[in-house]
Structure 1
């Protein structure tokens, strides 16, 4: 069966942007067109497909079942065309790229080692990294804006319909700067409430696990909190204050070894959540993304076996 010639690139681009933004108004702003133009383009596409792709919900435009089914194919189609065009620009046929969504759990030592090995082995590879909450990154993966998402995300509802591959387990631990007042006496959980605390942003997968951990140990979150996914901001604040940081072990391992940070309460260390690779089976991976996947598995295996770091 031939593809209907009435389907144009602008139809797919408009459909994907509305699916990504969840709103015709926001999609119109991103595409630099009017909202009526977006509505007209979607209507044309729905008429060609003889299916309703969106319905109005409280939050804006919501994909129908038909829309979800079409999304699986529209995303890869647009992405494949993008890669084809990019590969011809400047005659750089051999260059490749990988677009990664990265959660804070792997920003410490894991991902830099992955990128180091990739660049050591491939002379023409661009690794583009986007950070943020799992919900945002997984939504980008779903519509083809990212090739892979790496981190701790198994509890995120947005992972439904995507493929997750386990790499290693990553515990959370409480750390403070060297010389912190809490290190001078036996640890008392009640004393945590007297100090500022650094936590991942509320609503994120890793924060939900931390909230559960505190409930399990009968702890209350302090009223003074810095909530962020930025490891650099978290580290700087902890270095310059008496704050307590609930951090992924990978992010603080080197500082603990150097004595710059100290583990506050090993007995409160979380057992460890699954860090892995999330991919969209309906999206064709670029050569660069395949390379990236291979090295992610390699370093993940070394993490599991304790050979690195």
Structure 2
């Protein structure tokens, strides 16, 4: 039974501080004073008999007890919010599926799955899909808090996945590509040292995809030039690559159409041996909805039908 001294305001304060990593920002978001939110956290910690946050140079961080509470309180609060919202939605029939999408599935898998799902004659076409993009750390933290129903993409290397459930779909390799007519296009074999003479388009630091790039550079003693573009945006990366001599680090799915059309060329050097595992990530503490289960089945079917990546 829930401790009667633990109130809804305590959990709201805890979740907002966990989200913002700052008492001041959390207080601002909740429209209360900073002493007020500090008092709420202190009362919650006293009721639980455990410290939930510790101060760091970057703000505040969750303790192990805080992480444990977050794993359960986030989905529980979200379920409560959905229950309240569902009462109002009953008259309108509003239903939503919240999906986190990494760049490895934005171009083909996810759009095709949504089209297939909405085309099915089993009532799913009245369920809206809200897609949130970003880094794996950002999306998995939202999934852990119950703010997303699932996350799709390549994320098995992410540290944040440790306490979440992951289902493998296929392997997706990262590739090095350049525009047609690039000085390195068509050279085989290609020496890694030549890659340092051109600007790169690559994922930002602290992302799982960037870890693979950094590992490649270490293996080949390669130093990248300072002129580079760091982004997770596929449209920005694509346009910059097509109009410059940049080398683009991209998932195979993102460049497949341009490769087939001859607009981009794959360089004759492998960034990684097999590729990363693309799949579905869930918060096991959240009750699975029928909509989520149906959509996941469509994702599995599309993956198998299109033969994405290597065989599973």
The aligned counterpart of 1:277 is 280
Q: CA deviation at 1:159?
A: 1.4
Does residue 249 of structure 2 align to residue 250 of structure 1?
no
Partner Cα separation in structure 2 for residue 50 and residue 188 of structure 1: 59
Q: CA deviation at 1:215?
A: 2.6
Partner Cα separation in structure 2 for residue 285 and residue 301 of structure 1: 23
The aligned counterpart of 1:73 is 72
Helix, strand or coil at the partner of 1:37: helix
Provide the TM-score with structure 1 as the length reference: 0.90
The aligned counterpart of 1:10 is 9
Write out aligned runs for 1:177-192 (5 A).
177-183=179-185, 187-192=190-195
- The one of 135, 139, 148 equivalent to 1:133 is 135
Any conservation in 2 of the 1:193–1:223 contact (CA below 8 Å)? Answer: no
Judged with a 3 Å threshold, the aligned counterparts in structure 2 of structure 1 residues 306 and 251 are, in CA distance, closer, same or farther, namely: closer
Deviations 1:145-183 (A, max 9, x none): 212111112122111211111111000111111222322
- The one of 253, 259, 262 equivalent to 1:259 is 262
The aligned counterpart of 1:151 is 153
- The one of 276, 300, 303 equivalent to 2:303 is 300
Q: What 5-or-longer segments of structure 2 have no aligned partner?
A: none
Partner Cα separation in structure 2 for residue 204 and residue 288 of structure 1: 30
Q: CA deviation at 1:30?
A: 2.2
Q: What 5-or-longer segments of structure 1 have no aligned partner?
A: none
Deviations 1:77-108 (A, max 9, x none): 21111111222224347442111221111112
Report the count of equivalent residues: 307
The aligned counterpart of 2:172 is 170
The aligned counterpart of 1:63 is 62
Of stretches 254-263 and 82-91 in structure 1, the one that deviates more from structure 2 is: 82-91
Of stretches 35-44 and 231-240 in structure 1, the one that deviates more from structure 2 is: 35-44
Any conservation in 1 of the 2:172–2:309 contact (CA below 8 Å)? Answer: no
Partner Cα separation in structure 1 for residue 63 and residue 12 of structure 2: 18
Partner Cα separation in structure 1 for residue 308 and residue 238 of structure 2: 28
- The one of 192, 199, 203 equivalent to 1:200 is 203
Give the RMSD, CA atoms, in angstroms. 2.4
Provide the TM-score with structure 2 as the length reference: 0.89
Any conservation in 2 of the 1:103–1:134 contact (CA below 8 Å)? Answer: yes
Q: CA deviation at 1:33?
A: 2.0
The aligned counterpart of 1:291 is 294
Deviations 1:107-143 (A, max 9, x none): 1211111111122122211111111111111111111
Partner Cα separation in structure 1 for residue 49 and residue 310 of structure 2: 56
Write out aligned runs for 1:21-170 (5 A).
21-92=20-91, 94-121=93-120, 122-170=124-172
